[in-house]
Amino acid sequence: LSGKKILVAITGSIAAVKAPILVSRLIKAGADVKCVITQSASMLVSPLSLSTLSRNKCYQDKDQWDDSQTKPLHIALAEWAELIIVAPMSATSLCKFTNGNADGLLASILLASKSQIVIAAAMNTSMWENQSVKKNWNYVKTIDQVISLEPSEGLLACDRVGDGKMINLDIIELASESAFIFNAENKFLS
């Protein structure tokens, strides 16, 4: 991951508290990291901590239409990122992405991006098992650009045991490395 431009996106799941650790690990691996955080996630994780760990500004919805920018921020970030990691991916953000809803900075970035996207879902078991969420997840698994990481089973923040925990950070890192290998092989073969 050394020298790679990675955008880490954090959405409104309690698993967002693991995002600073992921950012720190990517920085230690030599990646150039920028972060974007949804409004819900900012209630769980401080944008300041993400900025400090990434050594770059943490972008929020309020930054999307800053008049000091020469290019729309969602386009600039989508073009900058060689890889986007959405960890965690909430049910709300999953729904926006799969339905082409560009409401908010992250949603707009995901729709504008041509890069590989690693998505690590995390939510309450009942939400994960909901028919609408399953439909959206099954759709996202068909998108060539996406590496989809299902949640694992365990004790959730709501004291329930079941599927919904964000997958281990080691697996997210491995999926990220795999995305670069896949891209390199496809460029070599074409």
HSE (side-chain half, CA atoms, 13 Å) at 20: 14
Sort residue 76 into left (φ over 0), alpha (ψ -120 to 50) or beta. alpha
Per the listing, tokens 């939510």 go with 123
Task: Tell me how far apart the alpha carbons of residues 27 and 19 are, in angstroms, rounded to a whole number.
Answer: 12
Q: Dihedral sign for Cα 16, 11, 90, 24, please.
A: negative
Count Cβ atoms below 10 Å from residue 65 Cβ, excluding itself. Answer: 11
Per the listing, tokens 């209630």 go with 43
Q: What pairs with residue 83 in β-bridges?
A: 6, 116
Residues marked active site are found at 158
User: Crossing angle, helix 169-189 and helix 19-28, to 10 degrees?
Assistant: 50
In the chain the first and final C-alpha atoms are separated, in Å, by 23
